[in-house]
A and B are shown apart, each in its own frame.
Chain A
Amino acid sequence: MDAQEDYIWPRATSELILLPVTGLECVGDRLLAGEGPDVLVYSLDFGGHLRMMKRVQNLLGHYLIHGFRVRGDPAVGDVDSQAMLAVFGSKGLRVVKVSWGQGRFREVWRSDLWSMSDWIWDVRWLEEKVAVALGHNSVALYNPMLGRLLQEVHCTDRCTLSSACLIGNTWKELTVVAGAISNELLVWYPASAADLEPVTPDRRVSGHMGVIFSMSYLDSKGLLATASEDRSVRLWKVGDLRVPGGRVQNIGHCFGHSARVWQVKLLENYLISAGEDCVCLVWSHEGEILQAFRGHQGRGIRAVAAHEQQAWVITGGDDSGIRLWHLVGRGYPGAGVSALCFKSQSRAGTLKAVTLAGSWRVLAVTDTGALYLYDLEVKCWEHLLEDKRFRSYCLLEAAPGPEGFGLCAMANGEGLIKVVPINTPAAAVDLTPFQGKVHSLSWALRGYEELLLLASGPAGVLACLEVSAAPSGKAIFVKERCRYLLPPSKQRWHTCSAFLPPGNYLVCGDRRGSVLLFPSRPELYPTHGVGIGVGLEVGGKAVAAAVAAVLSVGGGGEGDGSTPTEWGPVSTLPALHGKQGVTSVTCHSGYVYTTGRDGAYYQLRVQSGQLQPVLRQKSCRGMNWLAGLRMVADGSMVILGFHANEFVVWSPRSHEKLHVVHCGGGHRSWAFSDTEAAVAFAYLKDGDVMLYRALGGCTRPHVILREGLHGREITCVKRVGTITLGPEFDVASLLPLDPLEPGSQGPGLIDIVITGSEDTTVCVLALPTATGAAHALTAIGNHSSSVRTVAVWGASTPGGPQDPRPGLTAHVVSAGGRAEMQCFSLMVTPDPGTPSHLACHITHLSSHRLDEAWDRQRNRHRMVKGDPETRYMSLAVCEPDRPGLDPLVAAACSDGAVRLFVLQDSGRRLQLLAETFHHKRCVLKVHAFTHKSPGQRRLLLSSAATDGSLAFWDLTAVLDHGATALQPPAEPGFPHQLGTPCLTLQAHSCGINSLHTLPIGEGHHLVASGSEDGSLHVFQLAVELPELEEAAGEAEREPQLRVLEEHTVPCAHAAHVTGLRILSPNLMVSASIDQRLTFWRLGRGEPTFMNSAVYHVPDVADMDCWSVSPEFGHRCALGGQGLEVYNWYD
């Protein structure tokens, strides 16, 4: 084989990049977004929304795009269908001509990529030339077609800049406004240079207390805006800046951001700023904030563009998301709070409670027992009825449904319940199901067929009332159907209820935080014997008591002689939401969702008549009181809750607070209602009813052009498997791109990849091979600190090996800061209804916190001291090859330990088994591998630490026999000791950041490691097992590990080698923070360099490689400050 050929093969090409969006520009009706070296082009669709239509690849080589400048003059041709663009970033500059005639976006021509001598802060077209503002305060006049520097002029002050802005359309009038590190603005004129001598600044403007990151000049009004590190935006009256010596006056100093301001943009009527706080603010030129756009995640908004005619603002984030927002001008009438002016001479009493029937009818009761109606269309209060018995205490709840079913219910302290038809209050029905205070009232509605009213009375009695209307609509009937009994607790009443479709069960939440399942009619209860059995088995004590009460016929209804049966729950999740109680239950497409005052919402499922938790999620920070959950038309959900003294409607999907109402908190009476037309929130304040209404319901008013990924660095990437979509899933319709990209033919293969991040979430991504796109299927946010590592085991297909169905299932364990581990199972199935054509179901299995385990130990053993700041750096799962054995997971820990856990019951229990402090310093990596020889299988673990040492451990016996195979703990209560390693090796002189092995036959393995110093270490490991006769027993058959051929490549990379994969006995690939992906030839002595590609993701922390299919070849995913996917063929 000749060397030349080797050098070319294999060639990795970038097929997908997710990076911070650093450049945005509107060109005609297109939006251009810079992402890495690529440009994404969005166009207007018929609905008036932008849609991605094309990716123009690799405009800037290994540079990243920071901006676009459109050539303005008409010499270019038809400005409505084509444009000449200067694209720049870092030191690179390229000109492209694009056209979008006949609905197709085409790249007509592109210049070469020009490299400047210094960083480019700004570019401005001067007819067919460009002026370029450079890093050390100089300006170059450049011919971008030919790549020729025509002239370069320096300022006398050659400090480094943090931003610059060029003004003027000819070289003669060209004006530079430069932001110096000294926080000053320097204004100077390059054309005033005599004999190319440096030019003295014409004006120096100071004011900001930090460096200036962005500037924007509005010619028509002679205004300049600046954004700074000092978190403020300043507006300057500068007049025509092209005229030397003019006066500069600071006319606005705007403080509104809570972190550094990265971007500013002046429009005719607005000033837009955006920053590190992920907020985009719309200011008037007078310095008032008109709108605030929130939703980006992570380290801020990096790019802003505006389309003034369409009144759009488009923002690009560090999270690689792109969002479009609508400018609405001053005093947006669409949403607002109004007082409904209840207080009047003619209305006695003060308001006690308020409720909403649909989104336009408000009901309120007073302390005189009077019920009033306010109709938003009529805009006045109407007295419906008055009943003195409701004077001292009155609950009020309107029935659910778009118009509140035209019903509401009142209840008092003596067990009296009144159901009122709102239109015919005279037909109200009274009922006293029990004596004593009615603690709570709730409704449950099944379609339009069945309406129940549930009322909690004394001693845990829950009366279930059927409400129906006469066909005439004039009369209603209320009848007690049955009585339930709640588990005992101090505050023993229910708080919410819902039918579980198809309607055989009711799900209720109670004040104690428990979620309860009741058959919706007594006939549906299993026969007593079975019912008790089931209840006792799963529910714990509370259920046992409740079920026992089923038998205690006559437990309630004192006084009236009758002895109705009280039915206990058939399934209970005790104290699921903690002491503050459950606040809502919602059933939607097969799942039950509950919210609580613990700040969390749960996804639950009912299987064989039992409630099972699936996933617990936290809401946004500071929102500790969740009040409800709604499903929105687009399939996403929104969370209702209270954030300090505000009522908030929050979207977990877009991370946006869709509605915020300053209501004073959730302790006073309030009600929320949403219909397709509007959302309404009513609350009592100062004796009046306040009503917030916003048109358009809970759907987002803003558009997410592209979903963001992680808000912070990606720390780990792991591919789970590939899903093949059948022909019924038209792959072409997945394609947002036009024309077809190469590689899009063939079956619809979708790789499923998991990423973990410093933003504390784990994300499941779908990467179709056909489109070079990425779809975030779901984000799981149950870690309390950053996620550093994920491991996967038991990958299979839905239905298992016996009955394989399309899709993918797997178990995942993630770990990171605060010594926390989370286990969940994952199921991805085809779903034609979603943009990714996939549905992803997550079930949380278990959590483990080392400090909690330590705390438990500490109660018994005073000596246990562990460090709760311990971080898990890396995980490796050891899977047994026989059924019936539990997998092990090994963790590299920052406190110097390697810890071994057992994953019992398919990950539902996670238990610390053993540990070793062999390394005595931070352990960075663990890697598990299997050694197979005829009739033999050994499970080996390798671990690597910050001192460059490697250790190998044999875990076979632990896997087979559990803890009995280990040395007993040093002291009772401590974990077992892992013993001594089979082999140790000083592979590097400093930290090992990557580790991989590959079996190469004859009992040998290749082991490769990469280090912080950029070196690679590769050796052959021989695993020798003593003959059966020699060894006394199975347990003693310790393998002998020997190092055979050992090689080091000292300067393989210029920084940490954080990704390493031995692809075959003669091919290896490495990735480093120096942004090179390098292939190495193995097997002929020292590894030799084959080729390398410069990639775009900085700070790569992890890499995974896999082969997709013979047609598609191999893929590798690099995760760091972004995500990049490479592809190569054999």
Chain B
Amino acid sequence: MGRTSKDKRDVYYRLAKENGWRARSAFKLLQLDEEFQLFQGVVRAVDLCAAPGSWSQVLSQKITDGHVVAVDLQAMAPLPGVLQIQGDITQLSTAKEIIQHFEGCPADLVVCDGAPDVTGLHDVDEYMQAQLLLAALNIATHVLKPGGCFVSKIFRGRDVTLLYSQLRVFFSKVVCAKPRSSRNSSIEAFVVCQGYDPPAGFIPDLTKPLLDHTYDPDFNQLDGPTRIIVPFVTCGDLSAYDSDQSYPLDLDDGSEYQYTPPTQPPISPPYQEACTLKKKGQLAKEIRS
């Protein structure tokens, strides 16, 4: 497979490179905004799980004179106007550091595009993703102003209704949205939660993680008809490119194709040492008698 093969299979990957976005995810946030006007009146925003930083790029462009805090486990190349924190959002110390920046001046928008490194074991991955979402929600309860908005990636798997029921506690309007740049085949979608409105008497507590809800025989059944399923919206207009479609390299707009290298080279992976050793032929081998 040549280097152009990914460009053919994934039109958004290619467009991201051509438009200077650090990741194709940028289009997801842009398309979510098309539908929900997420950035209207936003001055302060938090971008959780931000690396390599395409959402932060979008935020810093859309929120002029604003204040964006970006957080990720991974180091991220600097971006003008974006304050960066490196850390695990499920960890207390990271959460405290984020909250510090919003004391007295709460945020209007919290976004989280967090995805665990999938292991391929579906139940583990779904759980891990849910924990990221709940950790982000926990942070949001500390920094979000009433009426504020929270957007997060969500895996629509077996227990997604438990997350919906959890989010409904804090927000007046919860919608599940799928930008057209996210593939049909992917279980990924985004919850757009508007109108932050915690229950009366709710006191945010960082030291206690928010745990998953459980199935409830009255409101949210495991295998019955009563389930909390939030409305689903597809966003991005229909004339947008179809992420499932394969396009020829010369797109219809008449432009001639030219290969563009990735905007951000991949960050150093945890297995770098193993790769280096492998390249040098220094991985341990079976001993032979």
Contacts and interface: CB of A to CB of B under 8 A. Distances in A.
B245 A894 contact: yes
A924 B184 contact: yes
A223 to B, nearest CB: 18
B245 A896 contact: yes
Given A318-B120, A1054-B227, A1098-B157, A289 B222 contact: no
B214 interface: yes
A336 interface: yes
Contacts of B73: 181
B2 to A, nearest CB: 11
B286 A255 contact: no
Contacts of B101: none
Contact of B284 (A254, A302, A896, A1091): A254
B22 to A, nearest CB: 22
A947 B227 contact: no
A1054 B178 contact: no
Contacts of A693: none
A993 interface: yes
A342 interface: no
Given A158-B92, A229-B271, A291-B286, A991 B184 contact: yes
A867 B271 contact: no
A375 interface: no
Contacts of B244: 894, 921-922, 924, 946, 991
B88 interface: yes
Interface in A838-872: 865-871
A182 B214 CA distance: 28
Interface residues of B, number: 67
Interface stretch (B57-65, B123-131, B141-149): B123-131
Contacts of B123: 63-64, 89-90, 1098
B36 to A, nearest CB: 16
Given A181-B91, A894-B245, A1013-B232, A256 B271 contact: no
A1044 interface: no
Given A332-B289, A922-B184, A90 B127 contact: yes
Interface stretch (B39-47, B76-84, B102-110, B273-281): B273-281
B88 A182 contact: yes
Interface in A884-911: 894-896
Interface string B218-248: 0000111101010111100010001011111
A1054 B91 contact: no
A299 B122 CA distance: 12
B3 interface: no
Contacts of A440: none
B258 interface: no
A589 interface: no
Contact of A867 (B135, B208, B246): B246
A596 interface: no
Given A119-B127, A299-B120, A1014-B232, A62 B286 contact: no
Contacts of A331: 287, 289
A989 B121 contact: no
B264 interface: no
A1055 B232 CA distance: 10
Please report whether the interface of chain B is mostly helix, strand, loop or mixed according to DSSP.
Answer: loop
Contacts, number: 219
B121 A22 contact: yes
B156 interface: yes
A897 B283 CA distance: 48
A1121 B122 contact: yes
Contacts of A896: 242, 245
Contacts of B157: 1055, 1073-1075, 1098
A118 B211 contact: yes
Nearest to A1094: B223
A332 B270 CA distance: 34
A257 B277 CA distance: 11
Contacts of A209: 270-273
A1050 B230 CA distance: 10
Contacts of B122: 1098-1099, 1121
A330 B121 CA distance: 34
B256 interface: no
A258 B247 contact: no
A231 B156 contact: no
A612 to B, nearest CB: 34
A287 B287 CA distance: 11
B253 interface: no
B92 A922 contact: no
B277 to A, nearest CB: 5
B8 to A, nearest CB: 4
A568 B158 CA distance: 66
A20 B156 contact: no
B37 interface: no
Given A157-B92, A1055-B160, A1094-B222, A871 B242 contact: no
Contact of A289 (B209, B227, B282, B286): B286
Contacts of B277: 255
A1073 B187 contact: yes
B224 A232 contact: no
Contacts of B250: 865
A306 B109 CA distance: 52
Interface string A11-39: 00000000010100000000000000000
A1093 interface: yes
Interface string A252-282: 0011111110100000000000001000000
B242 A921 contact: yes
B132 to A, nearest CB: 8
A577 interface: no
Contact of A256 (B5, B90, B270, B284): B284
A524 B122 CA distance: 63
Interface in A214-258: 228-232, 254-258
Contact of A993 (B121, B184, B223): B184
Interface in A109-168: 115, 117-119, 135-136, 156-160
B207 interface: yes
A181 B245 contact: no
Contacts of A181: 73, 88, 90-91
A829 interface: no
A290 interface: yes
Nearest to A64: B123
Contacts of A119: 127
A427 interface: no
A979 interface: no
Given A1055-B157, A1094-B222, A946 B242 contact: yes
Interface in B254-276: 270-274
Interface string A320-348: 00000000001111001100000000000
B14 to A, nearest CB: 12
Given A135-B127, A159-B90, A1054 B285 contact: no
A1054 B156 contact: yes
A337 B277 CA distance: 27
Given A90-B127, A210-B270, A1075-B157, A302 B242 contact: no
Interface in A1024-1060: 1050-1051, 1053-1056
A173 interface: no
Given A330-B287, A946-B245, A1092-B225, 7 more contacts: A117-B211, A156-B92, A181-B73, A256-B284, A258-B283, A990-B234, A1054-B161
Q: Shortest 4 CB-CB distances between A and B: which pairs? A: A210-B270, A1098-B122, A231-B274, A1013-B232
21 contacts: A136-B131, A157-B92, A159-B90, A181-B88, A182-B88, A198-B207, A209-B270, A230-B270, A290-B287, A299-B120, A333-B289, A895-B247, A895-B248, A922-B242, A947-B242, A991-B244, A1050-B231, A1055-B160, A1056-B187, A1074-B160, A1092-B224
Interface of B: 5, 8-9, 73, 88, 90-92, 117, 119-123, 126-128, 131, 135, 156-158, 160-161, 164, 178, 184, 187, 207-209, 211-212, 214, 222-225, 227, 229, 231-234, 238, 242, 244-248, 250, 270-274, 277-278, 282-289
